[in-house]
């Protein structure tokens, strides 16, 4: 056999051998330390205390997740506008800064499963006879929400045909009209409304009635840990840890320090 022919057959054989032997899978990273970025300016979720230490629901939750993942947890403070950029440039490994899971953000980063959501809730006057939150139960009622929010859209789409929907420049204006008897109910973010109810004079005016059925099409998917797309192993670790602490009660112990209602 000519040398050139032998080389051709030999190269072809090597090529077939390469196809037959699967490429070695990239080695999974052994995570020992996870650097978590947060803003530190959004209480009670993340903030700095008098000693300039990071505190808050997300900081406590992050520490519990790291303990469950058996890794060292290092929190770093970062301006909101730099969070995604810093993650992608490997300045830290994860974001826990009340970053909502959206399709737009998914184009740049990955997300863990949801670790909290802000429940929508209907608030009514303390002396109200409203008994339910379905469109039928609120038929003919005057309903309020902050304009240009998911709550406004929800009321307009599901209640607007049979109820009067009034929109306000901010949530406080809607809540005040409820207190003054100009509305029968308002729909808003339960966390924000809880703060409003604790301000003093208005606290006795109103009460929560119930949450509407949670619909991600209106209220979003919630808030997750932001991660680099390449770190799928770390995403799975966070997913497993979130599920674990929610199942055994650790999550609720942390949540109760900040909220008297479920945010899962």
CA distance 139 to 41: 41
Q: What is the pTM of this model?
A: 0.83
pLDDT digits (tens, 9 = 90+) for 179-230: 999 999 999 999 999 989 988 677 789 999 999 998 999 999 999 999 999 9
Domain assignment present for 199: yes
CA pseudo-torsion sign 125, 130, 131, 136: negative
Instruction: Indicate if 126 and 243 belong to the same structural domain.
Output: no
Q: What is the CATH number of the domain that holds 135?
A: 3.40.190.10
Position 260 in a domain = no
User: pLDDT tens-digit profile of 116-159?
Assistant: 999 999 999 999 999 999 999 999 999 999 999 999 999 999 99
Closest C-alpha among 58, 16, 139 to residue 131: 139
Q: Do 147 and 201 belong together in one domain? A: yes
Domains identified in the chain, total number: 2
Does residue 44 have a cis bond before it (omega within 30 degrees)? yes
Quick count: other Cβ atoms within 10 Å of Cβ 146?
Answer: 22
Kindly report the number of other CB atoms within 10 A of residue 154's CB atom: 20
Q: Tell me the residue range of the domain where 164 lies.
A: 120-217
Considering the domain boundaries, does residue 46 fall inside one?
A: yes
């Amino acid at each position: 056999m000519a040398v050139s022919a032998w080389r051709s057959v030999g190269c072809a054989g090597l090529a077939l051998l390469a196809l037959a032997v699967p490429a070695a899978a990239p080695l999974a990273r052994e995570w020992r330390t996870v650097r978590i970025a947060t803003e530190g300016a959004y209480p009670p979720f993340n903030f700095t205390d008098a000693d300039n230490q990071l505190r808050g629901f997300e900081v406590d939750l992050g520490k519990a997740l790291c303990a469950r993942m058996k890794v060292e947890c290092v929190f770093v403070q970062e301006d909101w506008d730099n969070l995604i950029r810093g993650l992608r440039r490997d300045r830290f490994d994860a974001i826990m800064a009340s970053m909502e899971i959206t399709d737009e953000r998914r184009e740049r980063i990955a997300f863990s499963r949801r670790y909290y959501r802000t429940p929508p809730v209907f608030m009514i006057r303390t002396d109200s006879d409203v008994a339910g939150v379905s469109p039928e139960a609120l038929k003919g009622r005057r309903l309020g929400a902050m304009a240009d929010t998911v709550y406004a859209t929800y009321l307009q789409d599901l209640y607007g045909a049979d109820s009067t929907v009034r929109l306000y420049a901010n949530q406080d204006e809607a809540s005040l009209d409820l207190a003054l008897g100009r509305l029968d109910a308002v729909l808003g973010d339960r966390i924000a409304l809880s703060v409003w109810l604790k301000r003093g004079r208005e606290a006795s005016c109103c009460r929560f009635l119930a949450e509407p059925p949670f619909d991600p099409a209106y209220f979003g998917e919630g808030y997750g840990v932001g991660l680099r797309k390449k770190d799928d192993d770390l995403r799975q670790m966070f997913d497993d840890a979130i599920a674990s602490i929610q199942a055994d009660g650790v999550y609720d112990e942390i949540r109760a320090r900040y909220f008297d209602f479920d945010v899962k």
